[in-house]
Structure 1
Amino acid sequence: MTKEATVLFDAPGPRARARHNILTVVAAVVFLAILGALVWRFNEKGQFAGKLWSPFLKWEVWDNLILPGLWNTLKAAALGTVLALLFGVVFGLARLSDHWWVRIPAGIVVEFFRAIPLLILIFLAFFIPNKVSPSVADSAFGTFQRVLVDNFFSIFGVEINAGVITVPAFAAVVFGLIMYNGSVLAEVVRAGVQSIPKGQAEAAYSIGLRKNGVMRLVLLPQAVTVMMPAIVSQIVVLLKDTALGYIIAYPELLNAAFRQVPANYDNNKLQAGIVVAVIYIAINMSVSRFATWLEARSRRSRKTEAKTMGGGVGAPPRLPRGAPPLPRPPRGRVLPVGRLVIGVYLSEVKHPVMAPTDPRMRDDSWYDRSCDPPLRLLALPHLRSRRRPRAAAPQLSHRRRR
């Protein structure tokens, strides 16, 4: 099977294809040999015994242990993914701000949480509020603290017990996932936006868009396609990082299947680990497939939109909805397409060889300066040419000077 040659890849010849086939066969043989050795050792140690695998064939094990652990894993991963993406977008764009008082603090926050291991963040979020938080008294600060906990942090399970704030394992795990993975995603957003050619932003500024419009309408839609592989890989990492809740007794999938099942059924930790690994592989592959489908769908929608909108050389400009109509072009000889004025501000630029012949259009009073800036950049078809008046040639007198 041959591959088409591209700029960065030369199609292999007959010898290269033969060498690739030989290396593929050798790698497959080595892999099968290693797998066979593992299976033989498993069988020799009795790891394929039915009593070690039978617990995973019982519905009560799945209903009471594995499925609740899987639900807790997906719940923490889903909430952590949404909030980490929000954190990453906000702080990633803040790092691109022109204001130093926004850019520098955002950079400090991102670098701080990105440098701390996730396990330490989970430990700090779980133990510090229980040890350091003061008692919630009947003071103004205590009232504010109680209102904040009751109305906001209660959705994460945070509550006040005996006057002390108690943080559950779920809130600690989600906090660690948000801060660490959100900091990584902030760098992904910043790098993705900066990877867009500067000409895109300059073209958007030239039609009068402000910076928020340039970022929202031009840069971010293009950067999402560039960032998608990194975002998907980080979401997969976030999903696997939920297993670190094992260390603070959060009842996630690894804790339920790897600790509780072996404790109740013949200490089958190896079998439990294999089952957990298969579940994680299935979830991560599903996330990757969904992201690939979503990216392909967005590309198809952009291509379809570009086709249905029309355009191209000679196509009439399409005005935005609600925009005032363009002035009716004057009659007369039409310039060739190559000499049409495209993207000229009528109120700022005067073309030396092209101008309308209608007296109403020779000055700028007819042009509505309050109209949308993109309307100024529409093509101006059907303009008559007006040649510059040539300087009169000096007339020679036939009379001789006296």
Structure 2
Amino acid sequence: MTASVLYDAPGPAARRRTMISSIVAGVIILAVVVVVALRLAAQGQFTADRWGPLFNPFHQYFAAIWTLLGNALVATLLAAAVTLVLSLVIGTAFTVTRVTANKYYRWLVVGVIEFLRGVPVVIAIFFASRVLPEFGVSLPIFWYLVIGLTAYNSVIIAEIIRAGIASLPRGQAEAGYSVGLTRWQVLSSILLPQAFRVMLPALISQLVVIVKDTSLGFIISYEEFVRTANIIIQTTRNPIQTYLVVALIFIVVNFALGKLAEYVERRSSRARKTAAAPADPTLVDTGAAGGG
């Protein structure tokens, strides 16, 4: 029986081959996991001395380690939050400038956006920390990281917002112009609010990227999460365990942000469907009867 136009439901032979392939792949993966576990056990990676500093509350380093990790996590999330706010403001300014710019200087705006999009994030951070002091701009390390991240993510957010504006029906802007609104009034009152709502899940997903990119702060000695983990490893000598904990915390944070994006997308879709639903005919009839 055909499942769709482009996909036929597998027959008995295909299902049997798929099951055999899945079993073989599962056995291979299990064998690799067992071999890795045995090698790690032979090297003493499962001993209490390796895991105790991170999971044993009575270990002498437990409180100090989690205090350092907690402070580093706060520093990481703070840098990500400030970067997101600045990127939204600057990215929106880039979008408005690009949309409203005259053709004679629009190339300049597009050139700046494309240049910043092509610069690697690590280069932007390093450039901010090395070049700005040469011009007499002395800032805390935190701000060099934020400036580098903002330089890259602001143009990405600008493209996200521009895509949101481009996805709106042309009649939205034409209706605004027809009642005498200026281009800026149409953008600020009609297009931008809808573009933010449409692209909000993508904006939240970009926050996940920003959170992960804060780990690049180690190149300028910013005390973020990964650099703090490296400092802890120098004392505890347990890189596998420490990096595993750091990875799990990053996964939890990014998973929560991803779920937030899904929740916002569902709410936005529900709100659009509610707004597009027709009025209750009984209420219309009642009003009509009363008017008669």
TM-score normalized with structure 1 length: 0.61
Out of 218, 221, 239, the position equivalent to 1:269 is: 239
Q: Deviations over 1:212-260 (max 9, x none)?
A: 4443455445544653454333221111110111111111111111x21
Total equivalences in the alignment: 281
CA 1:262/1:3 → structure 2, altered by over 3 Å: closer, same or farther?
farther
| Equivalent position of 2:146 in the other structure | 174
In the alignment, does 2:121 pair up with 1:118? yes
| Aligned partner letter, 1:287 | L
Q: Deviations over 1:289-325 (max 9, x none)?
A: 0111111112222333444x7278xx69xxxxxxxxx
Retained in 2: the 8 A contact 1:95–1:102? no
Question: 1-side partners of 2:18 and 2:74: how far apart?
Answer: 44
Question: 2-side partners of 1:248 and 1:18: how far apart?
Answer: 55
Per-residue deviation at 1:44? 2.2
| Equivalent position of 1:55 in the other structure | 53
Question: 2-side partners of 1:20 and 1:90: how far apart?
Answer: 52
- Bigger drift between 13-22 and 244-253 goes to 13-22
Per-residue deviation at 1:169? 1.1
Retained in 2: the 8 A contact 1:65–1:260? no
Retained in 1: the 8 A contact 2:157–2:203? yes
CA 1:17/1:212 → structure 2, altered by over 3 Å: closer, same or farther?
farther
* Two-structure CA RMSD over aligned residues (Å): 3.4
Out of 40, 65, 72, the position equivalent to 1:69 is: 72
| Equivalent position of 2:35 in the other structure | 37
Out of 255, 266, 271, the position equivalent to 1:285 is: 255
| Aligned partner letter, 1:84 | S
Retained in 2: the 8 A contact 1:88–1:184? yes
Higher helix share: 2
Question: 1-side partners of 2:37 and 2:182: how far apart?
Answer: 64
Per-residue deviation at 1:93? 2.7
Structure 1 unaligned regions, length at least 5 = 134-164, 317-402
Per-residue deviation at 1:119? 1.6
| Equivalent position of 2:289 in the other structure | none
CA 1:232/1:102 → structure 2, altered by over 3 Å: closer, same or farther?
farther
Question: 2-side partners of 1:286 and 1:220: how far apart?
Answer: 27
Question: 2-side partners of 1:306 and 1:72: how far apart?
Answer: 43
Retained in 1: the 8 A contact 2:168–2:195? yes
Retained in 1: the 8 A contact 2:205–2:261? no
Aligned-pair identity (%): 37
Q: Which has the larger radius of gyration?
A: 1
| Aligned partner letter, 1:117 | P
| Equivalent position of 2:111 in the other structure | 108
Retained in 2: the 8 A contact 1:61–1:261? no
If asked which structure has higher relative contact order (CA below 8 Å, sep 6+), I would say 2
| Aligned partner letter, 2:87 | A
